[in-house]
Each structure stands twice: as structure tokens, then as C-alpha cells.
Amino acid sequence: MKDILPDEYKYWNLVIKKASELSKAYGFRRVDTPVLESWELFERSSGRSSDVVTKEMFSFIDKNNDKIALRPEATPGIVRAYIEHGMFNLPQPVKLFWLGPVFRHDKPQAGRFRQFSQFNLENIGEPSPVADAELIAVTYYFFRELQIDVTIQINSIGCPLCRKDYLVKLENFYKERGRRVKLCHDCKKRLIKNPLRLLDCKEKLCVEMASEAPQIVDGLCDDCRNHFIKVLEYLDELDMPYNLHSTLVRGLDYYNRTVFEIWPTPAESQATKSADAAAPKKDELPRQAALGGGGRYDGLVEYMGGRPTPACGFAIGLERVILKIKEKNIPLQDEEKGDIFLAQLGDQARRKIMKLFEVLRKAGFNTRQAFTKDSLKSQLEIANKMGVKYTLILGQKEIMDGTILIRDMESGIQEIIDYKKIVAEIEKRLGNPAK
């Protein structure tokens, strides 16, 4: 868990603004879901044997003896809302975006805490590979807007039909040449319960064996192969930098066909398209460094009680995005900086200044103040620290004369102006903020 202090919010405001603007531009509408959900929701959607359910979920029994969980991800809750609120009756697809905290009892690491924030996009009701490509494009553009260089890692894990034969080949591979004995403790269980998860393990020896395993793309059925080819063709047309990653499967049971992750591009190498299906070496670009990921989940809506509905989505971890912004020293606008500072001398001036502040705020000017300060010197020091262009100074004499002083903070020059013409005078110097 981590506190977010005021100085941090310039980063948060930036990423949330970019996420919201891009989502709306591409026709996604915002949705929110409860922090607390039924534990069964995630057991059914993410998979009983998934790490999320078996190791990472915070859960408790409430007073009604119901098992409740802090949401470890957003997609199942969004799908539940889609079904419960009859959004399947709306024109399809339903395109939704989501921003909020999620919770996982995971080992804290760089940019990842047990409470962390995600940005999700979900396209529910569209089977076309165009939807996959659009999601990947929006993800890529999000990072480009933030000046973060990324590469798309992409794979297809097929459908239940073509995956069935592949899983037999995968099991046989791990049973040959004593590989099963070399698997980590968790992977020995996965080999029995869900062999596809063997490709998602982060342990060094398991990663090495996975890189030699049969590739699932070689066993795709015609429909899945054509779907994947179309996705890649769209990415080529959009000049998206991607790598075909043969062991990328994602860690949740509901995915099918397209799966992808967004990895930061190493500074020492350029992002290039690669037809090499071998997975990048773990020590070169660790999977733990993924900034986000997603894929297609065509069976999830039906599995959760809805109609058969194709869908795809992605999630981005915002703390990791902010960490990359800081690492790159990307300059951000100082949100504390204002255009105008209001300074007062005396209680009567303070009352008028408080009223003037609201007038200027409504007019659209970025105005700052220190109503509780009495000393003009201390107020000017604050104005200097805030980097304002002008300070308006009001004292007893100015009240009597119906005037106010305007001080250029760079040159130190002060002028007397008519109090009634303040807004017009500031517009003349700064421009009309409404334009």
C-alpha cells in the first residue's frame, strides 16, 4: 500500500487525463464497479487454479457468511455489470473504460504494490480482429502521448478446439527427457491442472524450458490463424512495433485467441518488428516489467451467465507508468503555478480579496492566494515560489481610492489600476482564458 501525496498528483492527473481523453476519442464510455465483489465472481472468471485466486486475492467471510473479495482485477466486475444491467440490449459492441484501484496479495516490487491502480478498456460484443487491433493501438498511443517507448508483445493462444491438441503436445514435451522433474513446485501442479500455465512461469529454469516448448501458433485452427493474421496486418498498417512472443499466454483462464502485453523498450535497442517467434530472454526484458496487457475473452460473458458474446480488453498498471515517467525525467507542468496571486493588507482588504478571488476564478484565471497571511513580504515570497506572473495588492489606501496595485513579478514594476477594471486589465495582459 502506498500514500499518494500532493506533489505526486501532477503525475496522476496527467496519466488519468490522457487515459480519459484517448478513451473518449475512441468511443469508450466510463464505467465503475464496486471494490468489494463476491469471491465466486473471480473464482469463476479468473480460474480456480490461477495465481490470482490461489495466492493473491484478499478475501473474508462477512456477517451473512458470504465470501467477499477485494477486486484483484476489473474485467470480471465489468462483465458482471454488462450482464446484470442488460447492456447486451444496447447497440453492440459496448465499449467501456474504467479507472480505479485493485488489490493483490503479491510480493511488492518496483511500481507494483498490494493496492495499485489500473486503466482498463473493454470492447464487449465485437468478434472482429479490428477490435483487437484498436485496443492495442489505443494502448500504444497512450504510452506515446506520455513519451514512453514501448513494444507490443503479442501471441495467439487459439480457441478451446485447437488448444486441445496443443495441450497434449505440451504435456508430452514436459514428460520427455526428465523435464517434469526440473519444474518448480507450482509448475508441477500446473502440469496436471492447467499445462498452458507452464508457459507463464517466471522461474528461470521454467522459462528456459518454455522457450523450447512447442509453439501454440503452429497448431492454430484456420479460424484462429486467420483472426491472428488479420490482427497483425492491422498492426503493420498502423506501424505498431511488435514482437511475436511464443510463450505469452497471460495468467487468467478466460483468455482466448489474441493475447498481448506492453513492455518498455530497452534504451539500448530500437523497437523493431520481428518475425522471430522465440520469446525474448528473461534477463533482457523481464515479463515482470510489463506495463500492461490484455487479450480476447470470447467465452467469459456466457460463462458468467450471459449470452454468447465476443469481447476483448486490456489493463494498464498506472504506478508502473508513473515510475517510467519519473525515470525518463519527462518535464511536467507545475500545477501549483498560477497566473495571478492576490495579496492583502488588513482585514477589510482580506474580505474584498476573498471576493475578488472568486470573480477571477469564475473568469477562468489560474489564481493563487494566502488569505491567512498578514505580512506583505511573506505573501510576495509565496507568490515568487509559485512562479506567478502578476500579484494584485490591495490595502486600505487602495480601498479608499477604488484602485488596486498590479505588480509584475519578473520586473518588480507596480502600477495602479481601477479596481472595477481588474478583469479587463488582466485579460489585456494574459489574454482571455475562455478563448
Query: In whole angstroms, what is the distance from residue 289 CA to residue 306 CA?
Result: 35
Asked whether residue 75 is marked as a ligand-binding residue, the answer is yes
118 is in an annotated binding site: yes
User: Does the N-terminal peptide bond of residue 241 adopt cis geometry, omega within 30 degrees of 0?
Assistant: no
Tell me whether residue 84 is annotated as binding. Answer: no
For residue 134, the SS3 value is: helix
How many Å is the maximal CA-CA distance in the chain?
A: 96
3-state DSSP assignment of residue 349? helix
Alpha helices in 363-434 (DSSP H): 376-386, 396-401, 422-430
Say how far apart CA 117 and CA 98 lie, in whole Å: 10
Q: Does 26 show up as a binding residue in the annotation?
A: no
Q: Is 74 marked within a binding site? A: yes
Count CA atoms within 13 Å of residue 122 on its CB side.
29
State yes or no: 369 annotated in a binding site: no
Pairwise CA distance, residues 420 & 327, whole Å: 48
258 is in an annotated binding site: no
Gap between the Cα atoms of 102 and 114, Å rounded: 8
| Chain-centroid distance, C-alpha 366 | 28
Question: Among 48, 93, 67, which Cα is nearest to 296's?
Answer: 93
The DSSP letter of residue 367 is E
* Residue 112 marked as a ligand binder: no
- Count of Cβ atoms closer than 10 Å to residue 178 Cβ: 8
Torsion angle of alpha carbons 350, 353, 358, 363, nearest 10°? Answer: -170
Strands 292-296 and 256-264, bridge-based pairing: antiparallel
Quote the CA–CA distance of 117 and 321 in Å, as a whole number. Answer: 10
Distances (CA, A) of 88 to 100, 125, 308, 313: 24, 8, 10, 17
Report whether 254 belongs to an annotated binding site. yes
Report the distance separating Cα 324 and Cα 235, nearest Å: 24
Distances (CA, A) of 87 to 34, 157, 233, 296: 18, 28, 31, 19
Contact 280, 152 (CB under 8 A): no
Residues placed in the known binding site = 73-75, 104, 118, 122, 250, 254-255
Residues placed in the known binding site for L-histidine = 73-75, 104, 118, 122, 250, 254-255
